[in-house]
Amino acid sequence: MPGTTHVTVDQLSRVTLDDQKRVHPNITTAINNTIGQIPIDRFAIFANKVTEPYNSYYMEIESAGTDAFSQQNYMEECNYMFPPISLIGRTLQFIEYTIQEAKIICIVPKWEA
């Protein structure tokens, strides 16, 4: 069955536990209290978004766009990024080489070596 005919089923089949992780609400509250309301969540699905609008990994009707790396409006507002573990390296490279001048809040785990 093609995913374009059954969008919801297709989306649910692609969601992994890594996709569903979220930052503790106390952290997002602290961010909102510091900078104001987070304008856009760049790595989200409907179930874990911290704001409207959000960018989804997959096509979702509610999302403002699909694939955070293909969006063009990074310079317009502060960007909240909590990438899945599998995309941390790509996200950091994207920030460093593509959108250095943008305002970004990027949250990643701190791993001790």
Domain spans of the chain?
A: 7-106
Q: What pLDDT is attached to residue 80?
A: 94
Cα-flanking dihedrals φ and ψ of residue 21, to 5°? -65, 150
Give residues with Cβ within 8 angstroms of 61, minimum separation 6: 7
Among 33, 73, 27, 83, which Cα is nearest to 53's? 73
* Type of residue at 59: M
For the stretch 87-98, pLDDT in tens is 999 999 999 988
Look up tokens 């959108």; give the residue.
99
* Chain length of the chain: 113
Q: What pLDDT is attached to residue 109?
A: 84
Q: What pLDDT is attached to residue 17?
A: 46
For the stretch 64-109, pLDDT in tens is 999 999 998 899 889 999 998 889 999 999 999 888 888 999 999 8
Distance of CA 106 to the CA centre of its chain: 10
Stated pTM of the model? 0.76
